[in-house]
Each structure stands twice: as C-alpha cells, then as structure tokens.
Amino acid sequence: MTAEGSIRVGLIGFGLGGAVFHAPLISATPGLDLVAVVTSDAERAAVVGDRFPTARVLSSAEQLWGADDLDLVVISTVNSTHVPLGLAALEAGLPVVMDKPLAPSAAQGQRLIDESETRGLLLSVFQNRRWDSDFLTLRRVLDEGAIGTPIRFESRYERWRPGVKRDAWRERAGADEAGGLLFDLGSHLIDQAMQLFGRPSHVYAELDPRRPGAVVDDDAFVALRHPDGVRSHLWMSAVARLHGPRFRGLGLAGAFESFGLDGQEDALAAGGDPRDPTWGAEPSERWGTLATEAGERTIESQRGDYPAFYQGVERAIRTGGPPPVDPNDSADVLRVIEAAGRSDAESTVVAMEWPDG
C-alpha cells in the first residue's frame, strides 16, 4: 500500500468491462488507487491516458507479476483467460477481483477458489447486478412480506441485436470460450435468483442459437425449482424486439413488476461520477408496481449502488473480512449453467447434486 494507505490496483483489460465499470468504480472508491491498466490496444491506451492519467499503461499482464507497487489485480478480459490470469495473479501473491463468469466451468472456478484459500488471498467476483436498483427494490418488497409467500420469480434480460459479430469473443463456441448468453447474461440472472431463494434442487433449460450464423445460444430460458417451492423463470435473448418485464415476483398476497434496466451502466458509459450524491436514483417513470388486495400502487425504487462492490473489496482487504461476493456463489452459478446445458441437450429436468450434499 502507499504511504497514504491506498490499496494499489492493477486492471487487466480495458474493453467494455474495464472502461465502463471497473476503472471508474475503482477510481471513485476511497482507499483504492488505480495505478496500472493492461491493454495492448493503442486506442484504448490513449483513452486510459486521457481519463486516468496517473495510471501507467502496460501491454501485457506479465508486466504486473513482478511489480512491487500492486496490492490488488482486477481481471476484465475474455472468459477463456480468466483462469490462467487468475492463477498467475494469485501465484504472484496478489488478491483478485474477477469479472463474471468466474471461469468457463465449475471445476476451473473451484481451482481458483482453492488456490486463493491456500494462499490466504482475497478472491471475489464482479456480480454487480446484485446492486441494481430494481433488484434491491424487489428484495426489499420480499423482505417486507409485501406480496406474501413468494411462489414464482420471473427475470428477463432481453435485447434486440439480430446481427452476429463474427469477430466477437462472446460469439465463439468451445467449452473453454464460455460464449453465449447463458454465460454472459445468465451469470447475472441465475446469481440473482439464488441470492433471493437459494440453490435450486432442479434445473430445466432451452438454449438456442436463433440468429443466422450464430454458433452459440442467443435465446435462452432457464427454470429453477428452489427447495422452498419457489420457481424462478429466467429469460435472456438477443432477438427480442419487444421486451417483457425485467422483474415479476408473484406471491400469495400480491405481485411486483418492473420494466427496463437499471440506469447505472448508461450513467457510467456517459462519464457519470459514482460519487454524485444522486447516484443510482431512478426516475419515477421507472419505478415498479406493487399489486395487493388494497390495489395497485407505484413504489419508489431503491437507489442502485454499484460503488458498494469496490467499497466491500477495499474493506475486505484491510480487515481480512469476507469479500462483497463470495466466489463459492459464483462457482454455484457455474454448476447451474452446466446443469442447464445438460438439460437442453437431453430435453429433461436435471436434479442438482451440490458438493456439500
């Protein structure tokens, strides 16, 4: 750490994840100091120099491992590189924040977890959508018992992107590529469902490549049966011209529904400052609807709070406390993704077998 006590951070990758999410959030977090960014792209390097002038730009991750001015590495690269980069960082004695998904498979994710535990180093996963405004609002509705006993949770992350970008890594097939929407968006939706209702006992999925030329799933449905009887129905699509509700929670005493995506990503992309006192507030036209026996009413959305993730990372490194996202949760998400793949291939419901029984 610096003499002032700042935790010095190296960021690997400056694509969408690094430029829009990680770098701005790290820079806005008290106690964290972005000191290095790894990118081999000249245009991206120029952007780093303009927006984060105190951070040095490196062309390869290997230049980080011997550095004596780093306390944390953040990995925001293509999915196939997560495990080798994560292991290299841990072997260099550096705590790691990994973009989701943690790894291309649950076994590889567990290898990262085991290595971090053996070395006594922090490992956390950037599941930022735990801090979406609408998700926090739904969680509050459930905690308050406003819809009674929950019976079904519906979640959609839908887009209209009918063209295939053949050079995009998310469009690549292959087990180690972790391409397709189930890995990309499903990592968020499954994590949110499990945060609300726990590990599922059974999984059913329909995974399809619908766009001409697509070789990975771009239209997917996953159904989870949770031990308490709640069923989660999760949709993700690149071919939805019209979008359904983002969230819909049904209970025996009412229902909650909301539309549209949390606005924090757009705010970050537009150069918004996460330290703004109004950060994460949603306009009233985006608030959700609660329906009960008393009627329907709009309820104010809880503020989104992406800054909470890196605040949690900073606190965990200083105190040795738990990370803001337990990597075991993300390994569980990968187990569900793998079960969904088996379900689709066999056209059947898959019973989950969890490691601890």
Tell me the sheet residues that pair with 38: 12, 58
CA distance 222 to 250: 17
Please compute the mean of the pLDDT values over residues 186-210 and round it to a whole number: 97
Please compute the mean of the pLDDT values over residues 235-264 and round it to a whole number: 97
Residue percentage of the chain with pLDDT more than 90: 92
Question: Would you call 239 helix, strand, or coil by DSSP?
Answer: strand
pLDDT at 92 over 90: yes
Please compute the mean of the pLDDT values over residues 332-350 and round it to a whole number: 98
Note the pLDDT of residue 207.
Answer: 98
Q: Where are the domains of the chain?
A: 7-128, 130-308+336-351
| Backbone angles phi and psi of 196, in degrees to 5 | -80, -40
Reported confidence tier of residue 175, pLDDT bands at 50, 70, 90? confident
Topology classification of domain 130-308+336-351? Dihydrodipicolinate Reductase; domain 2 (3.30.360)
**DSSP letter at 17?**
I
Output the six-digit token pair for 350. Answer: 């898959």
pLDDT at 216 over 80: yes
Q: Tell me how many degrees the CA angle 237-262-295 measures, rounded to the nearest 5.
A: 95
Sequence-ordered list of residues with C-beta below 8 angstroms from that of 356, at least 6 positions apart, any chain: none
Residue percentage of the chain with pLDDT more than 70: 99
Reported confidence tier of residue 350, pLDDT bands at 50, 70, 90? very high
Q: Does this chain's domain 7-128 share its CATH topology with 130-308+336-351?
A: no
**DSSP letter at 281?**
P
Reported confidence tier of residue 4, pLDDT bands at 50, 70, 90? low
Please compute the mean of the pLDDT values over residues 42-56 and round it to a whole number: 96
pLDDT at 202 over 90: yes
Lowest mean pLDDT among 56-70, 76-90, 194-208, 230-244: 56-70
pLDDT at 100 over 80: yes
Reported confidence tier of residue 130, pLDDT bands at 50, 70, 90? very high
Higher pLDDT, 68 or 72: 72
Which of the listed CATH numbers 3.40.50.2000, 3.40.1280.10, 3.40.50.720, 3.40.190.10 matches domain 7-128?
A: 3.40.50.720
Note the pLDDT of residue 18.
Answer: 96
Note the pLDDT of residue 165.
Answer: 85
CB 186 within 8 A of CB 235: no
CB 242 within 8 A of CB 232: no
Q: Tell me how many degrees the CA angle 255-259-263 measures, rounded to the nearest 5.
A: 130
Q: Which of 76, 65, 89 is nearest to 39 (CA)?
A: 76
Cα separation values, 109 from 101, 232, 344, Å: 9, 24, 22
